[in-house]
Amino acid sequence: MSPNTAAAASPAAAAQAQAQAEDWLVDAALAPLADGSLAPLYAGAAAGELTLPFCAACGLALELEQRACDGCGATDIRWRPVERAGSVHAVTLVHRREPGLVRVTEPYPVLDIELASGHRLIMTTLTATGSAPAIGRPVTIGFRHVGGVAVPAASLDPAGADDSPATSGTTPVPGTTPAPDPSAAGLPAAAHTSSEPEVSP
């Protein structure tokens, strides 16, 4: 994957350095397809925004792969930045670590986050942690970088994700201070999933 382009301002260099650093959790081989079906999400993430789909006609929050609104039937989808805040809806601590794909040596969390916008996104945490947060716990959203692609991640820090305000819906990119942890990409964001299945049941 080619790295996304970071913002143009002075923090650009810092942002670029973050984007090129290795992710704490997974190998770059798991980088998502930035110009695929979720391109608006990744473009927003590269600019520090959590960008998600809504029905352009009725405003209903839609799933990432939804192409028509289940509320009104409209097929005009609008992706827009949302507040980078939510709470834990479901949680697991993954013990199985696939060699070559997962870089950590200890169990890692996977969270289903219910965002203030109503969307639910699956993500891991911004930085390594061996504990699983409780359901209902508030989180803010930042970004990890996997193979140069920014992906949403949850910050469990009660003070919010690094330098970004916890609930700034439309704040542009990372801000002032560089994130202390190389894996803590600038800001907010989260993402998730819809139903799909490849592995059976």
Residue 94 binds: one of Zn ion, another protein, none (C-beta under 5 to 8 A by kind): another protein
Confirm or reject binding of residue 74 to another protein (CB under 8 A). no
Q: What is the distance between the alpha carbons of residues 101 and 137, in angstroms, rounded to a whole number?
A: 29
Interface stretch with another protein, choices 2-10, 76-84, 92-100, 169-177 (CB under 8 A): 92-100
Q: Select the binding partner of residue 200 from Zn ion, another protein, none (C-beta < 5 to 8 A, by kind).
A: another protein
Contacting residue, 43, 57, 91, 128, with another protein by CB under 8 A: 91
Considering the rule CB under 8 A, would residue 105 count as an interface residue with another protein? no
CA 157 – CA 200 distance, rounded (Å): 36
How many degrees, rounded to 5, is the angle at CA 118 between CA 126 and CA 194? 75
Q: Partners of 141 in the beta sheet?
A: 154
129 vs 139: CA distance, rounded Å: 14
**Is residue 39 classed as helix, strand or coil in its secondary structure?**
helix
Taking CB under 5 A as the rule, does residue 58 contact Zn ion? yes
Do 73 and 129 contact (CB within 8 A), yes or no?
Answer: no
Structure tokens at 89: 């809806």
Residues ≥6 apart with Cβ < 8 Å to 170: 49, 81
Q: Does 94 bind another protein (CB under 8 A)?
A: yes
> Any contact of residue 68 with Zn ion (CB under 5 A)?
no
Contact residues for another protein, defined by CB under 8 A: 1, 25-26, 30-33, 36-38, 41, 61-65, 70, 89-96, 98-99, 101-102, 107-108, 110, 112, 114, 118-124, 132, 135, 146, 149, 151, 153, 191-201
Contact residues for Zn ion, defined by CB under 5 A: 55, 57-58, 60, 69, 71-72, 74
